[in-house]
Protein backbone atom coordinates (compact mmCIF):
# COMPACT_ATOMS: atom_id res chain seq x y z
CA UNK A 1 0.00 0.00 0.00
CA UNK A 2 1.19 3.57 -0.56
CA UNK A 3 2.48 5.34 2.53
CA UNK A 4 -0.90 6.97 3.28
CA UNK A 5 -2.67 5.89 6.42
CA UNK A 6 -5.43 3.52 5.38
CA UNK A 7 -8.70 2.71 7.10
CA UNK A 8 -8.87 -1.00 7.89
CA UNK A 9 -11.71 -3.15 9.20
CA UNK A 10 -10.92 -6.57 10.68
CA UNK A 11 -13.74 -8.95 11.58
CA UNK A 12 -13.13 -11.51 14.30
CA UNK A 13 -10.46 -9.20 15.72
CA UNK A 14 -10.88 -10.18 19.37
CA UNK A 15 -8.38 -13.02 19.45
CA UNK A 16 -6.35 -15.44 17.36
CA UNK A 17 -5.65 -14.58 13.72
CA UNK A 18 -7.81 -11.43 13.72
CA UNK A 19 -5.87 -10.01 16.64
CA UNK A 20 -2.54 -10.66 14.91
CA UNK A 21 -3.83 -9.07 11.68
CA UNK A 22 -5.05 -5.99 13.56
CA UNK A 23 -1.69 -5.70 15.32
CA UNK A 24 0.19 -5.99 12.02
CA UNK A 25 -1.93 -3.39 10.22
CA UNK A 26 -1.62 -1.02 13.16
CA UNK A 27 2.15 -1.56 13.43
CA UNK A 28 2.40 -0.65 9.72
CA UNK A 29 0.80 2.72 10.49
CA UNK A 30 -2.85 2.17 9.60
CA UNK A 31 -6.01 2.83 11.60
CA UNK A 32 -7.88 -0.33 12.46
CA UNK A 33 -11.54 -0.91 13.29
CA UNK A 34 -12.08 -4.10 15.27
CA UNK A 35 -15.28 -6.12 15.31
CA UNK A 36 -16.42 -9.36 16.99
CA UNK A 37 -19.07 -10.14 19.59
CA UNK A 38 -16.91 -9.96 22.74
CA UNK A 39 -16.48 -6.31 23.68
CA UNK A 40 -13.93 -7.10 26.37
CA UNK A 41 -11.67 -9.02 23.98
CA UNK A 42 -11.86 -6.23 21.40
CA UNK A 43 -10.91 -3.75 24.12
CA UNK A 44 -7.92 -5.87 25.11
CA UNK A 45 -6.73 -6.00 21.50
CA UNK A 46 -7.28 -2.26 21.02
CA UNK A 47 -5.11 -1.62 24.07
CA UNK A 48 -2.19 -3.40 22.39
CA UNK A 49 -2.33 -1.40 19.15
CA UNK A 50 0.22 1.37 18.60
CA UNK A 51 -2.15 3.41 16.40
CA UNK A 52 -5.79 4.54 16.30
CA UNK A 53 -8.48 1.90 16.72
CA UNK A 54 -12.25 1.59 16.92
CA UNK A 55 -14.04 -1.09 18.92
CA UNK A 56 -17.31 -2.09 17.24
CA UNK A 57 -18.99 -5.08 18.90
CA UNK A 58 -21.35 -6.94 16.57
CA UNK A 59 -22.58 -10.36 15.56
CA UNK A 60 -21.44 -10.35 11.94
CA UNK A 61 -24.07 -12.95 10.94
CA UNK A 62 -26.83 -10.39 11.51
CA UNK A 63 -27.44 -8.66 8.17
CA UNK A 64 -28.10 -5.21 9.66
CA UNK A 65 -24.92 -5.44 11.78
CA UNK A 66 -22.72 -5.39 8.68
CA UNK A 67 -24.14 -2.06 7.57
CA UNK A 68 -23.98 -0.68 11.12
CA UNK A 69 -20.30 -1.59 11.48
CA UNK A 70 -19.36 -0.03 8.13
CA UNK A 71 -21.46 3.08 8.89
CA UNK A 72 -19.70 3.47 12.25
CA UNK A 73 -16.26 3.31 10.60
CA UNK A 74 -17.33 5.79 7.92
CA UNK A 75 -18.70 8.21 10.53
CA UNK A 76 -15.39 8.20 12.41
CA UNK A 77 -12.73 7.84 9.70
CA UNK A 78 -14.35 7.62 6.26
CA UNK A 79 -14.65 4.66 3.92
CA UNK A 80 -12.96 1.31 4.51
CA UNK A 81 -9.85 0.83 2.33
CA UNK A 82 -8.82 -2.57 3.66
CA UNK A 83 -11.33 -5.24 4.67
CA UNK A 84 -10.13 -8.41 6.38
CA UNK A 85 -13.06 -10.83 6.67
CA UNK A 86 -11.72 -13.23 9.25
CA UNK A 87 -14.49 -13.98 11.79
CA UNK A 88 -15.17 -17.67 12.04
CA UNK A 89 -15.59 -20.82 14.04
CA UNK A 90 -16.02 -24.47 13.14
CA UNK A 91 -18.37 -27.30 13.93
CA UNK A 92 -17.39 -30.92 13.60
CA UNK A 93 -19.72 -33.86 12.91
CA UNK A 94 -19.99 -36.86 10.66
CA UNK A 95 -21.76 -35.98 7.43
CA UNK A 96 -24.82 -38.01 8.43
CA UNK A 97 -24.97 -36.23 11.80
CA UNK A 98 -24.65 -32.73 10.35
CA UNK A 99 -27.92 -30.99 11.14
CA UNK A 100 -29.56 -28.26 9.09
CA UNK A 101 -28.78 -25.89 11.95
CA UNK A 102 -25.04 -26.70 11.83
CA UNK A 103 -25.04 -26.36 8.04
CA UNK A 104 -26.89 -23.05 8.10
CA UNK A 105 -24.74 -21.71 10.95
CA UNK A 106 -21.49 -22.40 9.09
CA UNK A 107 -22.75 -20.93 5.82
CA UNK A 108 -24.12 -17.85 7.61
CA UNK A 109 -20.83 -17.15 9.40
CA UNK A 110 -18.21 -18.28 6.88
CA UNK A 111 -19.87 -17.51 3.55
CA UNK A 112 -22.84 -15.13 3.80
CA UNK A 113 -21.25 -12.75 6.33
CA UNK A 114 -18.06 -12.28 4.24
CA UNK A 115 -20.26 -11.85 1.14
CA UNK A 116 -22.23 -9.07 2.84
CA UNK A 117 -19.03 -7.38 4.04
CA UNK A 118 -17.44 -7.53 0.58
CA UNK A 119 -20.64 -6.28 -1.07
CA UNK A 120 -20.79 -3.36 1.38
CA UNK A 121 -17.09 -2.47 1.03
CA UNK A 122 -16.55 -2.73 -2.71
CA UNK A 123 -18.58 0.17 -4.23
CA UNK A 124 -16.65 2.80 -2.24
CA UNK A 125 -13.34 1.10 -3.03
CA UNK A 126 -14.13 1.11 -6.76
CA UNK A 127 -15.18 4.75 -6.58
CA UNK A 128 -11.83 5.68 -5.01
CA UNK A 129 -9.84 3.36 -7.30
CA UNK A 130 -8.22 1.56 -4.37
CA UNK A 131 -9.21 -1.29 -2.12
CA UNK A 132 -7.93 -4.46 -0.52
CA UNK A 133 -10.17 -7.34 0.47
CA UNK A 134 -8.68 -10.33 2.23
CA UNK A 135 -10.79 -13.25 3.40
CA UNK A 136 -9.27 -15.62 5.93
CA UNK A 137 -10.42 -18.94 4.47
CA UNK A 138 -8.63 -22.23 5.21
CA UNK A 139 -6.95 -25.14 3.47
CA UNK A 140 -10.48 -26.54 3.85
CA UNK A 141 -11.22 -24.19 0.93
CA UNK A 142 -8.88 -26.31 -1.20
CA UNK A 143 -9.44 -29.90 -0.15
CA UNK A 144 -11.93 -32.09 1.67
CA UNK A 145 -11.41 -33.18 5.28
CA UNK A 146 -13.51 -35.69 7.21
CA UNK A 147 -16.10 -34.58 9.79
CA UNK A 148 -16.21 -30.93 8.74
CA UNK A 149 -18.51 -31.01 5.70
CA UNK A 150 -20.35 -27.77 6.52
CA UNK A 151 -17.12 -25.89 7.34
CA UNK A 152 -15.43 -27.23 4.20
CA UNK A 153 -18.38 -26.37 1.96
CA UNK A 154 -18.53 -22.83 3.37
CA UNK A 155 -14.78 -22.31 2.95
CA UNK A 156 -14.84 -23.64 -0.63
CA UNK A 157 -17.73 -21.24 -1.23
CA UNK A 158 -15.92 -18.22 0.13
CA UNK A 159 -12.92 -18.94 -2.09
CA UNK A 160 -15.36 -18.93 -5.01
CA UNK A 161 -16.62 -15.54 -3.87
CA UNK A 162 -13.04 -14.25 -3.73
CA UNK A 163 -12.21 -15.50 -7.22
CA UNK A 164 -15.40 -14.10 -8.78
CA UNK A 165 -15.01 -10.73 -7.07
CA UNK A 166 -11.34 -10.51 -8.09
CA UNK A 167 -12.23 -11.25 -11.72
CA UNK A 168 -14.95 -8.63 -11.69
CA UNK A 169 -12.82 -5.95 -10.03
CA UNK A 170 -9.42 -6.63 -11.58
CA UNK A 171 -9.18 -3.35 -13.49
CA UNK A 172 -10.58 -1.19 -10.68
CA UNK A 173 -7.64 -0.95 -8.29
CA UNK A 174 -9.38 -3.31 -5.87
CA UNK A 175 -7.76 -6.66 -5.13
CA UNK A 176 -9.56 -9.60 -3.55
CA UNK A 177 -7.67 -12.55 -2.08
CA UNK A 178 -8.02 -15.35 0.40
CA UNK A 179 -5.45 -16.59 2.87
CA UNK A 180 -5.75 -20.31 3.49
CA UNK A 181 -4.15 -21.51 6.73
CA UNK A 182 -3.80 -25.02 8.09
CA UNK A 183 -3.93 -25.44 11.89
CA UNK A 184 -2.96 -22.15 13.53
CA UNK A 185 -2.08 -21.76 17.20
CA UNK A 186 -5.25 -19.91 18.28
CA UNK A 187 -8.16 -20.41 20.70
CA UNK A 188 -10.08 -22.08 17.82
CA UNK A 189 -7.39 -24.75 17.61
CA UNK A 190 -7.43 -25.10 21.40
CA UNK A 191 -11.05 -26.25 21.00
CA UNK A 192 -9.96 -28.81 18.37
CA UNK A 193 -7.15 -30.03 20.64
CA UNK A 194 -9.59 -30.44 23.55
CA UNK A 195 -11.97 -32.42 21.31
CA UNK A 196 -9.15 -34.73 20.16
CA UNK A 197 -8.05 -35.25 23.75
CA UNK A 198 -11.58 -36.10 24.82
CA UNK A 199 -12.16 -38.54 21.96
CA UNK A 200 -8.80 -40.29 22.15
CA UNK A 201 -8.05 -40.18 25.89
CA UNK A 202 -4.76 -38.40 25.20
CA UNK A 203 -3.57 -35.46 27.27
CA UNK A 204 -3.98 -31.96 25.84
CA UNK A 205 -0.23 -31.79 25.20
CA UNK A 206 -0.28 -35.13 23.36
CA UNK A 207 -3.29 -34.09 21.29
CA UNK A 208 -1.61 -30.79 20.37
CA UNK A 209 1.61 -32.62 19.43
CA UNK A 210 -0.37 -35.03 17.23
CA UNK A 211 -2.01 -32.11 15.42
CA UNK A 212 1.36 -30.42 14.93
CA UNK A 213 2.89 -33.65 13.62
CA UNK A 214 0.16 -33.87 10.95
CA UNK A 215 1.51 -30.72 9.33
CA UNK A 216 4.53 -31.13 7.03
CA UNK A 217 6.49 -28.46 8.93
CA UNK A 218 5.85 -30.39 12.15
CA UNK A 219 4.31 -27.49 14.05
CA UNK A 220 1.25 -25.29 14.15
CA UNK A 221 1.25 -22.12 12.03
CA UNK A 222 1.49 -18.94 14.11
CA UNK A 223 -1.16 -16.19 13.89
CA UNK A 224 1.65 -13.79 12.94
CA UNK A 225 2.53 -15.95 9.91
CA UNK A 226 -1.07 -15.68 8.73
CA UNK A 227 -1.02 -11.91 9.37
CA UNK A 228 2.15 -11.69 7.25
CA UNK A 229 0.28 -13.24 4.30
CA UNK A 230 -2.63 -10.83 4.83
CA UNK A 231 -0.10 -8.00 4.77
CA UNK A 232 1.30 -9.28 1.46
CA UNK A 233 -2.21 -9.09 -0.01
CA UNK A 234 -2.53 -5.54 1.33
CA UNK A 235 0.73 -4.24 -0.14
CA UNK A 236 0.87 -6.02 -3.49
CA UNK A 237 -1.55 -4.67 -6.07
CA UNK A 238 -0.69 -7.41 -8.58
CA UNK A 239 -1.84 -10.25 -6.34
CA UNK A 240 -5.57 -10.80 -6.80
CA UNK A 241 -7.93 -13.75 -7.05
CA UNK A 242 -5.55 -15.96 -5.07
CA UNK A 243 -6.00 -18.41 -2.26
CA UNK A 244 -2.61 -18.18 -0.57
CA UNK A 245 -1.83 -21.27 1.48
CA UNK A 246 -0.19 -20.64 4.85
CA UNK A 247 -0.13 -24.27 5.78
CA UNK A 248 3.38 -25.52 6.24
CA UNK A 249 3.26 -27.29 2.88
CA UNK A 250 0.09 -29.31 3.43
CA UNK A 251 -1.57 -28.35 0.14
CA UNK A 252 0.54 -27.63 -2.92
CA UNK A 253 -1.83 -25.56 -5.05
Ligand X SMILES: NC(=O)c1ccc[n+]([C@@H]2O[C@H](COP(=O)([O-])OP(=O)(O)OC[C@H]3O[C@@H](n4cnc5c(N)ncnc54)[C@H](OP(=O)(O)O)[C@@H]3O)[C@@H](O)[C@H]2O)c1
CB 234, CB 25: distance < 8 Å:
yes
Cβ burial of 100 (10 Å; 0-12, 13-18, 19+) is: exposed
Catalytic residue, candidates 70, 77, 130, 151 = 151
Cβ nearer to ligand X, comparing 13 with 122: 13
Smallest gap from Cβ 3 to ligand X, in A, equals 29
Q: Spell out where the chain has E strands.
A: 7-11, 31-35, 53-55, 82-85, 131-136, 174-181, 243-246
To ligand X, the closest distance from the beta carbon of 125 in angstroms equals 21
Residues ≥6 apart with Cβ < 8 Å to 38? 14, 57
CB of 172 to ligand X, least distance (A): 26
Tell me whether residue 19 or residue 30 sits nearer to ligand X (CB atom): 19
Closer Cβ to ligand X, 29 or 216, answer by number: 216
Strand order in the sheet with 53-55: 53-55, 31-35, 7-11, 82-85, 131-136, 174-181, 243-246
Q: Which is nearer to ligand X, 133 or 136 (CB)?
A: 136
**Residue 199, Cβ density class (10 Å: 0-12 exposed, 13-18 middle, ≥19 buried):** exposed
151 labelled catalytic: yes
Nearest distance from C-beta of residue 209 to ligand X, angstroms: 15
Give the shortest CB-129-to-ligand X separation in angstroms.
29
Q: Which is nearer to ligand X, 9 or 60 (CB)?
A: 60
Neighbours of 195 (CB within 10 A): 13
Count of Cβ atoms closer than 10 Å to residue 146 Cβ: 9
Q: How many residues does the chain have?
A: 253
- What does the binding site for ligand X look like in residue numbers (CB under 6 A)? 12-18, 36-38, 41, 59-61, 86-90, 109, 136, 138, 181, 183-184, 186-189
In the bound state with ligand X, the residue whose beta carbon lies nearer, of 81 and 225, is 225
In sequence order, the 6+-apart residues with CB closer than 8 A to the CB of 120 are 66, 67, 70
Shortest spacing between CB 203 and ligand X, in angstroms = 20
Catalytic positions: 151
Amino acid sequence: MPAATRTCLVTGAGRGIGRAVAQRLSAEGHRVALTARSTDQLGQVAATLPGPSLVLPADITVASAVDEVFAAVEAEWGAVDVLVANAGSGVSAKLADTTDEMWRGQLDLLLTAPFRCVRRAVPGMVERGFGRVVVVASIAAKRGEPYIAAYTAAKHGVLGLVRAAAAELASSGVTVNAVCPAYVDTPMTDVTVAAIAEKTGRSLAEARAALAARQPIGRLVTPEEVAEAVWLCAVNGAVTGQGINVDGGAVQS
